[in-house]
Amino acid sequence: MPNFTDVAEFILLGLTCRQELQVLFFVVFLAVYMLSLLGNIGMIILISISPQLQSPMYFFLSHLSFVDVCFSSNVTPKMLENLLSETKTISYVGCLVQCYFFIALVHVEVYILAVMAFDRYMAICNPLLYGSKMSRTVCVRLISVPYVYGFSVSLICTLWTYGLYFCGIFEINHFYCADPPLIKIACGGVHIKEITMIVIAGINFTYSLSVVLISYTLIVVAVLRMRSADGRRKAFSTCGSHLMAVSLFYGTLIFMYLRRPTEESVEQGKMVAVFYTTVIPMLNPMIYSLRNKDVKEAVNKAITKTFMRQ
């Protein structure tokens, strides 16, 4: 039985084998990727130059945008390349690197979403203490934890992927190197990798989602106690965008990683993966800007300043 040293490269089967659809998908996903880059990088720049966007909420949002840029850039360029290529291959080392950054960035993003929920809880439920409790130092520490933890956990998970054995079938039924399709084609080291993938995903999704749910439960209780209808409306409007982003991201990931890899689940997961690797990073800037008065005002001021300088 050959071990991992015998694998030089994998073949990524991608989304479809039909040539006419591959060209269509290339155009569509290139447009989505460019919109994602423009939206997220634009959000980062806007937050950095706008005085009214210097609160902790926007500090965390800038990091969410940064992670979304890295997340989509880890997967989309290779997918676009393979859509126009006849070989559609990825090296074994390249596959492991892609797995590492994918797992790391998923963990970073879910915990940033949890930190953002905690920030909304502090702002709404403890407004008088918010400035002191969520100081710049505290925010830097809070945002550091997801990065350190995410990349550390990913290293362990990737080492288990490195321990998979393959027996001559090197075709990955996916458009990037993901754990479920790799497990499906492996012939050794599968059991421990499969169990650890489900356990680690389950623990991290449950813990981070619990922070989100507890935070928003306390927020709802606090908002319902408000006497001002305008205050309630403002509180819910600041949370609506975040809840939408959480629902989209967690929903797709849970569908992908909390099931045993089968032929059917891998095929379904491939379709879902398109959504969270390309579409969600594009949607997040729109979700947070279209529903946010402060961001709209900052955009208008930035545009006005630009035209005035000209």
CA 71, CA 204: separation in Å to the nearest integer?
Answer: 18
13-24: b or e for each residue (b if 16 or more CB lie within 10 Å)?
Answer: bbbeeeeeebee
Q: Are 70 and 8 in contact (CB under 8 A)?
A: no
Predicted local distance difference test score (pLDDT) of residue 257? 62
Mean pLDDT over the full length of the chain: 85
Predicted local distance difference test score (pLDDT) of residue 87? 83
Predicted local distance difference test score (pLDDT) of residue 72? 92
User: Could you give the residue ranges of the DSSP H alpha helices within 163-258?
Assistant: 179-185, 190-224, 229-257
Task: Indicate yes or no: pTM above 0.85.
Answer: yes
Pick the closest to residue 144 from 211, 88, 249, 60 (CA basis). 60
Ramachandran class of 211: left when φ > 0, alpha when ψ lies in -120 to 50, beta otherwise? alpha
Predicted local distance difference test score (pLDDT) of residue 264? 63
Predicted local distance difference test score (pLDDT) of residue 3? 47
Predicted local distance difference test score (pLDDT) of residue 162? 87
CA 273, CA 257: separation in Å to the nearest integer?
Answer: 11
CA 164, CA 191: separation in Å to the nearest integer?
Answer: 10
CA 128, CA 207: separation in Å to the nearest integer?
Answer: 28
Pick the closest to residue 69 from 101, 36, 42 (CA basis). 36
C-alpha to C-alpha distances, 104 to 70, 98, 154, nearest whole angstrom: 11, 10, 5
**90: phi then psi, degrees, rounded to nearest 5:** -140, 135
**pLDDT above 80 (res 259):** no
Instruction: Give every CB contact of residue 247 below 8 A, 6+ residues apart in sequence.
Output: none
Residue 258 pLDDT level (bands cut at 50, 70, 90): low
CA 125, CA 219: separation in Å to the nearest integer?
Answer: 6
Range of lowest pLDDT (2-11, 31-40, 259-268): 259-268
Range of lowest pLDDT (13-27, 105-119, 230-244): 230-244
Domains of the chain and CATH, by start:
9-302 (1.20.1070.10)
Predicted local distance difference test score (pLDDT) of residue 66? 96
Range of lowest pLDDT (97-106, 133-142, 240-249, 264-273): 264-273
Mean pLDDT within 181-193: 85
Q: Which pair of tokens denotes residue 170?
A: 């090197």
Predicted local distance difference test score (pLDDT) of residue 126? 85
**pLDDT above 50 (res 1):** no
Q: What is the pLDDT of residues 42-95, one digit of tens each?
A: 999 999 988 888 889 899 999 999 999 999 999 999 999 988 888 889 998 999
**pLDDT above 50 (res 203):** yes
Mean pLDDT within 171-191: 85
CA 150, CA 155: separation in Å to the nearest integer?
Answer: 9
Beta strands in 82-191, from DSSP E residues, in sequence order: 89-91, 165-166, 171-172, 186-188
% of the chain residues with pLDDT over 90: 35
Residue 298 pLDDT level (bands cut at 50, 70, 90): confident
Q: What is the pLDDT of residues 129-179, one digit of tens each?
A: 888 889 999 999 999 999 999 999 999 999 998 888 888 778 888 889 888
Mean pLDDT within 14-33: 88
